[in-house]
Chains A and B, each alone.
Chain A
């Protein structure tokens, strides 16, 4: 077997172990997780410490009217979808350096469930 192919397989295995494939999110569990993890700073329909979340899935980053964002977030071209939200909840600073949230959700399934809930509440 060519060494490059072996390397590709090893990399795939390592990456697979480090970050499981995007799991199907459970919106019902995501609602409970949102209530416990996110409610300290966010609400679905009100800007608080963080911006309101209803409609976040499919929305451009830094675009909620009436909320004062960091320059990094306001100027970011990121649009929130399954992939970008997964990266954001994994490590916000990695996807948008200079942002202010810095809250991390450590478990991939928890992230997927929260995203499923936000997607549902965004009508998508």
Chain B
């Protein structure tokens, strides 16, 4: 899969630059508030056992591990020297979304009495993602596309396991962000979108 021309990512950036400008800093607090409000509903009695709460914390911690990896994957891509400036801007923008997810998850896990899982050293992510094999911008985009689809499906796949419906909704919102990233990356690589509906999750 190759990036057909630099014009495509440039167009991608042009279309999304305004989005990043307008959504930027305010989005962090909005996301965090949304997550934490789910926790408050638990405190008011929507959860009926501490074991269920801890099960939800476990799910959130796996999600946090996924977000740590996504942040590092984009960092590796950004530092690879393989990305053209417009594509780099988009990658950094998507990384900022994952940082917002991370911060909101950490706040929620702490509020639920859990211990947020720590980020690993970047070298460990590089090894696990085989970053040394990246040779081109298209390689970086392909890796990001795979991880974003996997992340969207991961969030969709844990929704039935949440004890708190508010947190299940949060997982759906996170999945929507990952799907947005996947769609943009798929467009940047000039790939076709799925012909059929319901290709995510199930």
Show the binding face of A for B, using Cβ within 8 Å. 35-41, 43, 46-49, 70, 91-93, 98-107, 110
Interface of B (DSSP majority class): helix
B154 within 8 A of A: yes
**What mask results when residues 125 to 137 of chain B are scored 1 for a CB within 8 Å of chain A, else 0?**
0011110000000
Q: From A35, which residue of chain B is reached at the shortest CB distance?
A: B146
B128 in contact with A46 (CB, 8 Å): yes
B66 in contact with A40 (CB, 8 Å): yes
Contacts of A102 in B (CB 8 A): 55, 58-59, 62, 158, 161
A49 in contact with B161 (CB, 8 Å): no
Known: A47-B128, A48-B128. A106 touches B150 (CB 8 A): no
Known: A48-B69, A93-B55. A103 touches B146 (CB 8 A): no
A49 in contact with B65 (CB, 8 Å): yes
B69 contacts which of A38, A49, A92, A110 (Cβ < 8 Å)?
A49
- Smallest distance from the beta carbon of B172 to chain A beta carbons, Å? 15
Q: Which B residues between 124 and 171 are near A, CB-CB below 8 angstroms?
A: 127-130, 146-147, 149-154, 157-158, 160-161
Q: From A42, which residue of chain B is reached at the shortest CB distance?
A: B150
Contacts of B31 in A (CB 8 A): none
Bound form: Cα–Cα A39–B152 in Å = 10
B197 within 8 A of A: no
Bound form: Cα–Cα A110–B128 in Å = 26
Known: A47-B128, A48-B69, A110-B202. A103 touches B157 (CB 8 A): yes
B65 in contact with A39 (CB, 8 Å): no
- Smallest distance from the beta carbon of B159 to chain A beta carbons, Å? 9
Show the binding face of B for A, using Cβ within 8 Å. 55, 58-59, 61-62, 65-66, 69, 127-130, 146-147, 149-154, 157-158, 160-161, 199, 202
Bound form: Cα–Cα A92–B128 in Å = 24
A40 in contact with B202 (CB, 8 Å): no
Known: A39-B150, A41-B150. A104 touches B161 (CB 8 A): yes
B147 in contact with A40 (CB, 8 Å): yes
Contacts of A36 in B (CB 8 A): 149-150, 153, 199
A70 in contact with B69 (CB, 8 Å): no
Bound form: Cα–Cα A41–B61 in Å = 12
Q: Pick 27 A–B contacts, CB within 8 A, sort by A.
A: A37-B154, A37-B157, A38-B150, A39-B149, A39-B150, A40-B66, A40-B149, A40-B153, A41-B62, A41-B150, A43-B128, A46-B127, A49-B66, A49-B69, A70-B58, A93-B55, A98-B55, A99-B58, A102-B55, A102-B58, A102-B62, A103-B161, A104-B158, A104-B160, A106-B160, A106-B202, A110-B202
Bound form: Cα–Cα A70–B127 in Å = 23
- Smallest distance from the beta carbon of A33 to chain B beta carbons, Å? 9
Bound form: Cα–Cα A110–B146 in Å = 19
B153 contacts which of A37, A46, A93 (Cβ < 8 Å)?
A37
